[in-house]
Amino acid sequence: MTRFVLGLTALAMLAVAGCGSAAAEPSRGTGSDTAAGSDTAAGPDAGTDAVAGRPADRAGLIRRWEPDAPANPRHTRPPFVELKADGTWTGSDGCNGLQGTWSAGRNGTWRADQGMSTKIFCENVDLGSWLSQATRATREGELLVLRDGSGQPTGRLRPAR
């Protein structure tokens, strides 16, 4: 009986581990956020210049943001992230509730951590990873572009409408 319970526990842990997102990168808003038949965002934007955009200032970041990609009708709620003045953020990846902390410094430096979240399996937008993998935040027009240490975008967000 103990082996049976341990086996079920291991299977449950594997299932939960696979409940993350299928996407880590949004499209550039070209009208399609599908990649290889999935309903999630497209792959890396290999052509992006690492110095594109202007550094984001902290005051301009405090608001609600949504992915710069067409909405997925399979999301149970629209994906978004709300950056709050107290240094916390909340959001949804399309089905899971997300939360964490964030800070922005001079010249667009960025740091965010993802806290607890629900783990409902869905075809989601991995906003938590976009935030936590980024080290810089830049603005390209109205867009907020989060970039990793190599300058590649981890995600593109627009002000929520």
Q: What is the rounded CA–CA span in Å between residue 36 and residue 31? A: 15
Work out how many domains the chain is built from and give that number: 1
Could you tell me the CA-to-CA distances from 45 to 54, 97, 109, 154 in Å, in that order? 18, 27, 20, 9
pLDDT of residue 50: 44
Query: If we measure between CA atoms, which residue out of 71, 85, 3 comes closest to residue 33?
Result: 71
Query: If we measure between CA atoms, which residue out of 126, 42, 43 comes closest to residue 92?
Result: 126
- Segments forming the whole domain that contains residue 13: 2-159
Query: pLDDT of 38-86, one tens digit each?
Result: 223 333 333 334 457 899 999 999 999 999 987 777 777 889 999 999 9
119 — pLDDT class (breaks 50, 70, 90): low
Query: pLDDT of 89-103, one tens digit each?
Result: 999 998 889 999 999
Query: pLDDT of 120-139, one tens digit each?
Result: 667 688 899 999 999 999 99
pLDDT of residue 120: 66
* Domain CATH for 86: 2.40.128
Q: Is the pTM of this model over 0.85?
A: no
pLDDT of residue 106: 85
